A = this chain, B = another copy of it.
Amino acid sequence: MLKLYYTADTCALASHIALNDAGAKYTISRISFASKEQRTPEYLAINPKGRVPALVTDKGILTETPAILAFIAQSFPKAGLAPLHDPFRFAQVQAFNLYLCATLHVAHSHRMRGDRWADEPASFSDMQRKVPDSVGACYRLIEDNLPAGPWVMGETYTICDPYLFTMAQWMEADGVDPSRFPKVRDHRRRMSERPQVRAAIAEEL
């Protein structure tokens, strides 16, 4: 049985939705950032990085959202969550998710997690001021390259969709106006109507 360690309002939601999309059987376990549970010896034994998500499988524990999403797609091939037999199209799916992970999420993290990369309060303020621009630039690139839809890869729903939806939850808090990015905004609304998404969000409350 799979077990997902998550924290509400984090990128762990993407893996959570994908588990529902896959029809997987799983349990979830909440890690409280407020009580710094991710830094306890118990959780560091599960994920030495002290982050979420972590997915416990019968073979061991996985981390890193794009890797977990690809694992879910490959482990539940009947769900059709990625083009598993076309290396180029699979790489396109992965490249999209990589951009969310290593560019968009990283830009977002400078709003609240500046102490990963600097020490001075003035630097944190400077970083926070830049977030609307740096995150907005990511959405500009995504919007300009997104197909008409309904999904990130076009007609076919993939593991890109729950990940973009998860990131897009943070637009307003990052000072990014969704109305500037109508394809992203419509994708977010479309996703929010899916039962698999509603169930994941309800489970995390």
A134 interface contact, C-beta 8 A: yes
Q: Which residue of B lies closest to A50 (CB)?
A: B141
A70-102 vs B, Cβ < 8 Å mask (1 yes, 0 no)? 110011000000000001111110110011011
A106 interface contact, C-beta 8 A: yes
B91 near A68: Cβ-Cβ < 8 Å? yes
A203 interface contact, C-beta 8 A: no
- Chain A interface secondary structure, helix, strand, loop or mixed? helix
Q: Which residues of B contact A141 (CB under 8 A)?
A: 48-49
Chain A positions 20-63 with a Cβ under 8 Å from a chain B Cβ: 48-49, 57, 59-60, 62-63
Say which residue of B68, B106, B107, B119 sits within 8 Å of A126 (CB atoms).
Answer: B119
Say which residue of B62, B123, B127 sits within 8 Å of A95 (CB atoms).
Answer: B62
